[in-house]
């Protein structure tokens, strides 16, 4: 049994690529953000707005552990962009085949106006603050990735 964990910054295509990889491998797919919402019975935006990021990271960790413990066969998991920021997740991440979707800042920046509407973590941040977050996380992604896929402007997000 193999667990393939897709990591990368918000909006880089983790869910889309994860579904495609799972389909190509004929295996299961889990979107961790969807599981968080399912288990908590709250939207991610609501959790961030009412309880804050630290509370969300706690729920994210508990959900990640639950998902991992439920896996019985090869599965692709699309993780949230911040999963690597929680030290408690790192030992579990190291047991997965971790794939980093590396989106250059210039391509992410093009998506920023649309992402601000749906991503509570960046909703009120300046572009400079978001860039600093992207840069800090990129170091973590590189550190924990077993494989890196470079996302280019021409990457096809369809099957």
- What is the residue-level pLDDT of the chain in tens, covering all 159 positions? 699 999 999 888 999 999 999 999 999 999 999 999 999 999 998 999 999 999 999 999 999 999 999 999 999 999 999 999 999 999 999 999 999 999 998 888 787 767 777 776 777 778 899 899 899 999 999 999 999 999 886 554 433
> Given this model, what pLDDT does residue 105 score?
87
> Given this model, what pLDDT does residue 11 score?
85
> Given this model, what pLDDT does residue 159 score?
35
> Given this model, what pLDDT does residue 27 score?
98
> Given this model, what pLDDT does residue 108 score?
81
Find out if CATH 3.40.50.300 is the number for domain 3-150.
Answer: yes
Half-sphere exposure of 63 (CA within 13 A, CB side): 24
């Amino acid at each position: 049994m193999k667990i393939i964990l897709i990591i990368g910054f918000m909006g880089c295509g983790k869910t889309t690529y994860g579904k495609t990889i799972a389909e190509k491998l004929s295996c299961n797919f889990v979107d961790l953000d969807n599981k968080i919402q399912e288990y908590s019975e709250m939207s991610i935006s609501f959790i961030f707005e009412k309880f804050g990021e630290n509370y969300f990271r706690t729920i994210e960790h508990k959900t990640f552990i639950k998902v991992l413990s439920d896996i019985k066969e090869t599965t692709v998991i699309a993780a949230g962009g911040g999963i690597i920021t929680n030290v408690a997740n790192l030992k579990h991440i190291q047991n997965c085949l971790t794939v980093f979707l590396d989106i250059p800042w210039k391509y992410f920046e093009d998506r920023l106006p649309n992402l601000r509407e749906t991503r509570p973590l960046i909703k009120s941040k300046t572009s400079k603050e978001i860039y600093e977050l992207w840069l800090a996380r990129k170091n973590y992604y590189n550190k924990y990735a077993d494989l890196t896929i470079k996302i280019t402007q021409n990457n096809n997000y369809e099957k």
